[in-house]
Structure 1
Amino acid sequence: MTTSPALSGRDLTRVFTTPSGDVHALTEVSLEVHPGELLVVRGPSGSGKTTLLNLLGGLDRPTSGEVWIGDAELTAMSEGDLLDVRRRRLSYIFQSFGLIPVLSAAENVEVPLRLVETPGEERDRRVQQALELVGLGPHANQRPYELSGGQQQRVGIARALASEPEILIADEPTGQLDSATAATIMDLLSELVHERGLAAVVSTHDPLLMHRADRVLELHDGHAQRRGRHSAA
């Protein structure tokens, strides 16, 4: 690709100190993700996928190494500046959906827009547009318990898209879904990334989802094992 990376990690290392000793969750992992590119991070449980995504999303800080969004270094920012970046430039999709049970689908999507004080008319437009993008326009007034697992995850995706982020990070977004619904969600994410020019990092342990990726990064025991363009062969 000729564009500059939207998101990059440079020699990311994360060590957790425990009573029984240091745990090296991630060791000198580097990557770049460009606009319009879907990078899938693959690996078994405990391989460091969530740790990596938490670092890239600014939810945690590395023991050493750097995270950059464009030409801004996340790892050098104050907590206030980092919070602003998380609210305005990147969005996170969680495996557990992360929806507020008492709020409707539309109200859940609206939450991050209220946090950045988006004006009401613009907020309504973005919420409606995001729900329609994920095929949930008719379900705007339903609460999470009235929706299937796949529909709940679509609400989570709509919420992530409503803030019009540059970067999308999804940690095992299909982990609680059956295989058919998981494939549908991954197809949706791939379509949105390529149509909207997002830079996306999605973690999964499901090898059947690999062909949706533009590139794959494999982790094993906190180390990057292989990276490159996915081939269906």
Structure 2
Amino acid sequence: MTLALRGEKLTRTFRSAAGDVHACVDIDIEVAEGELVVVRGSSGAGKTTLLNLLGGLDQPTSGRVWIGDVEATALDEDELARVRRERLGFVFQSFGLIPIMSAAENVELPLRIAKTAPAERDRRVAEALRLVGLADHAAQRPGELSGGQQQRVGIARAIAVRPHVLIADEPTGQLDSRTAATVMDLIGDLVHSQGLAAVVSTHDPLLVQRADRVIELHDGRVTSVGGHAPAGPGPADEASGPADASDDAEGPSEDAPHPPRTRAEAREQRHTDG
């Protein structure tokens, strides 16, 4: 097992007029290549703080973070920015797309910032959109896409830089349950097929079933760690590729079946719908 991300004794304390707020307390976490770890907890449990610490977006009050073999907490701001740019991909609840840019231009943006050569940019953008099932929507702007499609663009943007680690903070928080399940299946498929390490925060119990491992947080502390055995893709799933982008264009009707509760059930439902 090759570790892609590791946090050791991570503590983050915020000062306030009412006293200290302990958002994270002595958290140990390891994420291997090809592993999808879900961080679960109610609002205020410390999920976002933990992800920000792991992604180098915030500094711990104490503790250390390694991204691969690099100790991120020992780097200066310039070095840390370079590691984030080269090794990490971020997916946000609010999608974070630029409205005036097309899907392809949004995906291309971090590659421009990294000064990737134009031909290589074009190739990576096309590949990322294909992987999330949006190759035919490259020219559309965010306002012309459904919520699920916009989040797929956000995922494409994150993986276009070919990160070692994918960090997603409540990536399905603005989606209906069926679209959310589809997006989580997509993230899981990318993790396992591309060998990414992924940390995803959620409070949705249905989405937890997609995880390889689940870490439960309460008041900034890890209260339990559990695992699931995700169903591996069969030959039919490998041949089908990502779900068609039209799958999430509309929300579920009143007589729609229940949202899928496992990765295998989600794939079976997509085949049935198709």
Same structural fold, with TM-score higher than 0.5 when normalized by the shorter chain: yes
Give 5+ residue unaligned stretches, structure 2.
Answer: 231-274
CA contact (8 A) 1:211 1:231 kept: no
> 1:101 matched to which residue of 2?
99
Percentage of identical aligned residues: 67
Deviation at 1:71, TM superposition (A): 1.5
Instruction: Give me the whole-angstrom Cα distance separating, in 2, the residues matched to 1:196 and 1:38.
Output: 12
Which segment drifts farther, 187-196 or 222-231? 222-231
Map 1:104-119 → 2, pairs under 5 A:
104-119=102-117
Deviation at residue 230 of structure 1 after TM alignment: 2.5
Residue 214 (1) aligns with residue 212 (2): yes
Out of 175, 181, 186, the residue aligned to residue 173 of structure 2 is: 175
Q: Secondary structure at the match of 1:21?
A: coil
Alignment-derived partner of residue 42 in structure 2? 44
* Aligned with residue 187 of structure 1, among 177, 185, 188: 185
Question: Alignment RMSD, CA only?
Answer: 1.2
Q: Which has the higher contact order (CA 8 A, sep 6+)?
A: 1
Distance in 2 separating the partners of 1:38 and 1:231: 11
Determine which structure has the larger strand proportion and give its number: 1
Deviations 1:2-27 (A, max 9, x none): x2311000010000011221110010
Alignment map for 1:137-148 (pairs within 5 Å): 137-148=135-146
- TM-score, scaled relative to structure 2: 0.83
Matched, 1:122 2:120: yes
- The number of aligned residues is 231
In 2, Cα distance between the equivalents of 1:231 and 1:44? 24
The 5 Å alignment of 1:48-63 reads 48-63=46-61
| CA distance, structure 2, for counterparts of residue 143 and residue 117 of structure 1 | 23
Pairwise CA distance, 1:200: 0.4
Which of 82, 85, 94 lines up with 2:83 in the alignment? 85
- For residues 57-94 of structure 1, the C-alpha deviation after alignment (integer angstroms, 9 at most, x for no partner) is 00000000001012211111000000001111011100
Task: For structure 1, list consecutive stretches of 5 or more residues without a partner in the other structure.
Answer: none
Q: Do structure 1's residue 25 and structure 2's residue 23 form an aligned pair? A: yes
Residue 228 of structure 1 and its aligned partner are, at CA, apart by: 2.4
Q: Deviations over 1:40-64 (max 9, x none)?
A: 0000000000000000000000000
After TM superposition, which residue ranges in structure 1, 4 or more long, deviate above 2 angstroms?
Answer: none
Q: Deviations over 1:114-161 (max 9, x none)?
A: 011000000000001100110111110111000000000000000001
Counterpart mapping for 1:144-163 below 5 A = 144-163=142-161
Q: CA deviation at 1:231?
A: 6.3
Select 2:72's aligned residue among 62, 71, 74. Answer: 74
